[in-house]
Structure 1
Amino acid sequence: MADHTIGTVADIPQGTRKIVVLEGIKIGVFNITGKFYAVKNTCPHQGAPLCEGSITGTILPSPPGEYVWGRDNEILRCPWHGWEFDITNGKSHYNPHQCFVKTYEVSIEEEEIDTVTVDTYPVNVEHGKVIVTV
């Protein structure tokens, strides 16, 4: 496994995604409330471009007759058949123990700031003359 720089944090604003190809594999990188996740861009059902699907939430367990919405922006819905996957771990919403998509580790590294240096030379003033020593 190799590390790949795909851009800066600013390139993937909160609530968006960036789809990249790394070592021949299409991967969607998602920014969910400032935390980054990477998911293989292939739905296990029929190979759809999963990461092009809608990002949504889901109904949480709740009492009968009550609908509680949650996990906003953490569920990825396949654009072909609506299969839903948890972006944070790749598990399917309907069968998390047997159906999942490959996920990848994402890390944020501090951006190196290029140091620009300027050569300076001593300057003296002698008897009204400016003298630079090189």
Structure 2
Amino acid sequence: MAEKTYICRVDEIETGTPYIAKIRSLSVGVFRIGDSFHALLNVCPHRGAPLCEGPQCGTTAPVDQAQFIYHRENEIVRCAWHGWEFDIKTGAALVDPGVRARTFPVTVEAGEIYVTA
């Protein structure tokens, strides 16, 4: 049964640096995007790498012209092993949204972050 677990205080997580926490036997990365917080299982669904230890970044936008447009800054985590990119909010892989990293609900109460797993 899922239970709510205290992770840390809001001011302990900076954008760009996920907080890796242990919830029972699970390793979970908690990310800050602006004023919102999101949690992902620290396991890449591609090959089992520690997904949340890769960089929190953006990605290039799909465009019709021969140009690069960087967007979605800090909304993506890139697996350090093979470069797969995942949407932090949904867990969906950018190359194939059918491949998903596991997400967990996050709540903030009185400046403290909780994850339900």
TM-score by length of 1: 0.78
**Structure 1 residues 101 and 111 mapped into 2: Cα distance closer, same or farther (>3 Å)?**
closer
Kindly name which structure, 1 or 2, has the bigger radius of gyration based on alpha carbons.
Answer: 1
Task: Give the alignment's Cα RMSD to 1 decimal.
Answer: 1.4
Residues 1-134 of structure 1 aligned to structure 2 (within 5 Å): 1-96=2-97, 98-111=98-111
In the TM superposition, what is the alpha-carbon distance from 1:92 to its structure 2 partner? Answer: 0.1
**Structure 1 residues 54 and 34 mapped into 2: Cα distance closer, same or farther (>3 Å)?**
same
| Alpha-carbon separation, structure 2, partners of 1:14 and 1:53 | 14
| Alpha-carbon separation, structure 1, partners of 2:61 and 2:100 | 19
Letter in 1 for 2:102: K
For structure 1, the residue ranges without an aligned partner over 5 or more in a row are 113-134
CA deviation string 1:53-76 (max 9, x = no partner): 011111112222132210001111
Moved over 3 A (4+): none
In the TM superposition, what is the alpha-carbon distance from 1:20 to its structure 2 partner? Answer: 0.6
In the TM superposition, what is the alpha-carbon distance from 1:44 to its structure 2 partner? Answer: 0.9
Letter in 1 for 2:7: I
* Higher RCO, 1 vs 2 (CA within 8 Å, ≥6 residues apart): 2
The count of residues paired between Structure 1 and Structure 2 equals 111
Match of 1:115 in 2: none
In the TM superposition, what is the alpha-carbon distance from 1:46 to its structure 2 partner? Answer: 1.2
| 8 Å contact kept, 2:10–2:111 | no
Percent identical? 41
